[in-house]
Structure 1
């Protein structure tokens, strides 16, 4: 698979990888066709796992290569470039959350049912933007020829994001199904929340391909955006039902799985 991807242009690589991450979201959303509900402990464990994957991916696949690239460029202190991009990514998602109406799956009965489906999709869509950008920037970094970036590492990032997208698909589709919507409509909303990922991936790959000096900033930006999502939504969501220990242990497992994927494939 990796050898086949190498022959493709970076934008196409990013697009195909993000189609995979979208597909895993769709698989998660498809659970509404087979089960009536997901046990809260299972959902909390999956969310904790997703948080661990995102934290590990943010460092090994994004922030660490960004620091190395900044050091190689010798333009400014590497820590300043990486810190600026990291904080800008978190601020970007914070502003999106603040000014775009949305509702998280964990919010209880604060919105009429007619609008809740749309707001749920918007919430997860906002959180999928940095994931798509991360995939695009990772493949763009490989095309730029940096030693710190590898096609295997970019593939590992896409696999990791795909793993954590599975519970996101469930988190959108299942509450909508429980509100009385049809299975087909619930699935549609669940998978639609990840359609932004291929778009964001293409934008990320194009941006860094045309402006290579942006790479350290772009990688750090994607890392900051993903960490903000983990801190603001994923970890709190995994703990809201009281399964604190389960969520924490699942986070550790997710972190370890993504770390092994990145190190083994890079």
Structure 2
């Protein structure tokens, strides 16, 4: 633990997001054992990911942002609101520009700018898009810990990384197995599935570097990551998890509750 406390937050963010990427790859490796994924299981995975991201957005990001902004010239709730709306706006713009599709999209349906890219690539782009705020969340958390921010420690930053890693495992499987079902080889399905997590170390390093070099933006950065994560949950994960019959949606809701509970316990317990 002493070694960890003595390391650069940028290095710690990089190492932590390498692990979250590795868990995405581990989940993607499930394609070597399964060719198809049950719709109910996919809904549970997406619901679980939603719960983890919602809990992390509050306990790991928004609450610390509000606490850090207290006593400043700008009201703390306004700082959090500006950052939160900025994060949501960033993902909204990216959603309109980057070509991608959702899991349940019909053939020919896509979002973002018009493109002739294959459906498999568009699906990977979709997951890559919402891995950006996940990497940012880890990086900003380690940056906040390095700045000695009250309520944020290296251990709590590690809890953020663990929570995101937990939901990255089923997410990796939720990408690679459908790709296999569309006719790609197991090797290509795995490579595409794990590739969706590459952006996390990049975003993690950027987040940690920014908040350690410009401390004034820290509360805004925390709230920004929260807004981006909530945008992904509401715009993509929950609608996808709630598609299907009544039993599937019930299971997805249960997955969300479990994911939320696990992340809450990690964050509060380790924080």
Distance apart, 1:3 and its partner CA: 4.0
Instruction: Give the match for residue 250 of structure 1.
Output: 255
Instruction: Please identify, of 205-214 and 235-244, the stretch whose mean Cα deviation from structure 2 is larger.
Output: 235-244
Instruction: Pick from 92, 102, 105 the counterpart of residue 104 of structure 1.
Output: 102
Structure 1: 5+ residue stretches without partners: none
2:45·2:174 contact (CA, 8 Å) conserved in 1? no
Q: Which runs of 5+ in 2 are unaligned?
A: 110-114
Q: Using the alignment, how far apart are the partners of 2:192 and 2:33 within structure 1? A: 16
Aligned to 1:139: 142
Distance change (3 Å), C-alpha of 1:113 and 1:238: farther
Alignment partner of 2:82 out of 81, 84, 92 = 84
Aligned residues: 264
CA–CA distance in structure 2, aligned partners of residues 246 and 4 of structure 1: 42
State the partner residue of 1:214: 217
* Alignment partner, residue 239 of structure 2: 236
Show the counterpart of 2:21. 22
Is 1:192 the counterpart of 2:191? The answer is no
Shift of 1:4: 3.6
1:164 is matched with 167
TM-score by length of 2: 0.94
> Which whole-Å CA distance do the structure 2 matches of 1:11 and 1:198 have between them?
10
Structure 1 window deviating more from structure 2 (33-42 vs 104-113): it is 104-113
Q: Deviations over 1:84-128 (max 9, x none)?
A: 100110110011001111112221212699611211111111110
How many Å apart are 1:247 and its aligned residue?
1.1
Q: Which aligned segments of 4 or more residues in structure 1 are displaced greater than 6 angstroms? A: none
Q: Is the 1:133–1:201 Cα contact (8 Å) retained in structure 2? A: yes
Cα 1:186–1:208, aligned 2, differ >3 Å: closer, same or farther?
A: same
Alignment of 1:48-63 (within 5 A): 48-63=47-62
Q: Is the CA contact 1:26–1:191 (under 8 Å) kept in the aligned structure 2?
A: yes
